[in-house]
Amino acid sequence: MAREDGHAGAVLMAFVLGAVSGAAVALLWAPSAGEETRRRLNEKAQEGRERASDAARRGGEFVTRQRENLTSAIDRGREAYQRAQTKQDASDASEAPA
């Protein structure tokens, strides 16, 4: 599961970077004044940084939630094993000849 999540994050980051790069190329080839083009590039770059930052934050939150879920599942499994072991030990003790 972790491998798929990392792959999805890489695909998302590639998409964002591709979109920003495409917008920059489109603006460079568009017929407009240099100052206007630089302003647009700066706006698009800022938007890209904000989106990347948001994606990184959401990715971090997802990883934290999954880590907590995994830790909780391991703890529950450990407790279930200990209960089963205690029952088995009690059963073995009651079946032992005196």
CA triple 89-92-94, angle to 5 deg: 110
Encoded tokens for 11: 């695909």
> What pLDDT, on the 0 to 100 scale, is given for residue 25?
78
**In a domain? residue 42:** yes
pLDDT digits (tens, 9 = 90+) for 43-88: 988 998 898 888 888 988 999 999 999 999 999 999 999 999 988 8
How long a stretch of residues is the chain?
A: 98
Q: How many domains does the chain fold into?
A: 1
CA distance 32 to 49: 24
Q: Is the pLDDT of residue 4 over 60?
A: no
CA distance 45 to 67: 33
**In a domain? residue 6:** yes
Domain that holds residue 33: 2-92
pTM beyond 0.85: no
**In a domain? residue 65:** yes
